[in-house]
Amino acid sequence: MSASSVNIVIFGAINFPVHQLVRYQLDGPWERHKAILTLAPNLVEAHITVDPNNQPWLHSNDVVEASNLRRIYVSDPRILDYVRSPALEGLALLVCTDDESSDNLRSISSFLDRSACPLQALCLRGFPDPWITIQVLKKFPSITRLVLLIKGPCAGEALEALRSGLTVSEHAMATVVAPQLRSIFFGWGLEDDISIDYQMYLKMLRSRWGAENSALEKVALLTEGSGPDSATLLDLHALRNEGLDLLVLQGPPALKEMVAWRYASSWMF
């Protein structure tokens, strides 16, 4: 069996040739993840979930070298304090706005500085802090794809604040925040009762699409539940007619796409 053929979702003990893994998904203790990352030199994608309240890695100084890793999802940003991934292109995180927000920024920034990787895609799942998100985008201009998977009934507030931060002012001398962004994807699930001001969302898209130094090329709006109203869809399609690459999905197709954004196996959800 070749290394390139081994993709696995792990439920129990590891009883297979770990060195052949190229992708894996596991909900388990950090020590098990650490072993896989250490023993799988061909690993290119990892979906790492841990219990944040029961992890000995909080008191460890060991850093795992994942030289060939291209994409990673972590359920706790602090995991990044113990990983170095110089080839990483996609980073997905479960985040929230609480007292740990500043620690999250430190973990993300130190990881990217330590890895010196060509990161292109940043996916934030949960309740992303708008200020931290903007700071990361400013500090790491290699990030050209921003994915926001909003989760929780109050998470719409974070989405609106971030949308506002990404909107280009109509002032003649206004600057574009994170002008390098080529793709901006928004999504939320059926259980998330989020109130979205679609007119303000459209304003953000139009402002970046029309800005001279904005790289925006592609946007996606995904919801497992009800989507935009007909008037909003007409306005979105007008932008598509102008050349913007637009994806709008609802229901199961939207959920499947959102799962893929965080490097998970779609049949698990």
Is residue 130 one of the residues assigned to a domain? no
Categorize the per-residue pLDDT at 210 as very low, low, confident or very high, splitting at 50, 70 and 90: confident
Which pLDDT belongs to residue 172?
57
Both 110 and 166 in one domain: the answer is no
Q: Does residue 104 sit in the same domain as residue 190?
A: no
Judgement on whether residues 155 and 254 belong to the same structural domain of the protein: yes
Domain boundary among the residues 119, 137, 157 is at: 119
Verify that 166 and 92 share a domain, yes or no.
Answer: no
Residue 139 within a domain: no
Rounded Cα distance, 123 and 73, in Å: 9
pLDDT of residue 111: 96
In-domain check, residue 136 = no
Summarize pLDDT for 151-207 with one digit per residue, the tens: 766 666 777 888 889 999 877 567 899 999 999 998 877 565 566 778 888 999 999
- Which of 66, 98, 119 is the last residue before a domain boundary? 119
- In the predicted model, is pLDDT for residue 3 greater than 80? no
Residue 71 in domain: yes
Q: Is the domain of 266 the same as that of 154? A: yes
Average per-residue pLDDT for the chain: 83
At 209, is the pLDDT very low, low, confident or very high (cuts 50, 70, 90)? very high
227 found inside a domain: yes
88, 4: one domain: yes
Question: Would you say residue 4 has pLDDT above 50?
Answer: no
Residue 222: is its pLDDT beyond 60? yes
Shared domain check, 200 and 108: no
**What confidence score (pLDDT) does residue 5 get?**
37
Segments forming the whole domain that contains residue 165: 149-269
> How much of the chain exceeds pLDDT 70, in percent?
82
Q: Which of 98, 119, 140 is the last residue of a domain?
A: 119
User: Is the model's pLDDT at 15 over the cut of 70?
Assistant: no
Own/partner pairs, 96-99, CB within 8 angstroms, 24+ separation: 96/126, 96/127, 97/127, 97/128, 97/129, 97/158
The Cα 145–Cα 108 span in angstroms is: 16
What's the whole-number mean pLDDT along residues 56-61? 66
> Do both 161 and 103 map to the same domain?
no
pLDDT-derived band at 268, boundaries 50, 70, 90: very low
Q: Are residues 108 and 222 in the same domain?
A: no
Query: In this model, does residue 144 exceed pLDDT 90?
Result: yes
Residues 235 and 190 in one domain: yes
27 and 111 both lie in a single domain: yes
Summarised one tens digit per residue, pLDDT across range 69-119 is: 999 999 999 899 999 999 999 999 988 755 566 788 889 999 999 999 999
Average pLDDT over residues 36-45: 92
Does one domain contain both 108 and 214? no
137 located within any domain: no
Q: What is the dihedral of CA 92, 80, 137, 253, to 10 degrees?
A: 0
What pLDDT was estimated at residue 106?
Answer: 87
- Whether 160 is covered by a domain: the verdict is yes
Considering its fold, how many domains does the chain have in total?
2
Q: How does residue 16 score in pLDDT terms, banded at 50, 70 and 90? A: low
The arithmetic mean of pLDDT across residues 21-29, rounded, is: 89
Instruction: Note whether residue 56 is domain-resident.
Output: yes
